[in-house]
A = this chain, B = another copy of it.
Amino acid sequence: MSFDLRDFMPYLLNQAADASSRDFQSYYRGKYGMLRTEWRVLFHLGRYGAMTAREVCDRAGIHKTKVSRAVAAMDQKRLIRREELAQDRRQEMLHLTDHGRRVFADLTQEAQRFDTAMMSEFSTEEIAQMRAFLTRIAGL
């Protein structure tokens, strides 16, 4: 019986995912007191523009309760502004504030820095193959 945990791809993926996220996570957590879902919501709004919570859910694949809580926290922190929609008062459009935009810029830059540093040990082909593999596994 030679089956080792390192032979189990989900284990490897989880370990790699944890290791790769740790530093960046402590960055946005330490600097802005943000949670992972908040960073993701911030990213989507900063990258793709204002949208409703439901759109964030759909695009990011995050459950609506998580988004709802992240939005509330980000509102508190003045990272976003909520705009009631006259045509459908159930929805609200989420906009980044100026502050939100600055934080987005900082975190995006930092994310790229982390990514570049982490990938610097690998060749371009390795990285490309890696992305293809992960994208497929993730079902993206």
Contact = CB atoms under 8 A, between A and B. Distances in A.
**Chain A binding surface, main DSSP class:** helix
- Copies of this chain, tallied across the complex: 2
A112 B3 contact: yes
A86 interface: no
Size range of the chain A interface in the assembly: 35 or more
Interface stretch (A75-83, A92-100, A123-131): A123-131
Nearest to A13: B17
Interface string A98-131: 0000000000100110110011011000100111
Interface of A: 1, 3-10, 12-21, 24, 40, 43-44, 47, 61, 108, 111-112, 114-115, 118-119, 121-122, 126, 129-131, 133-140
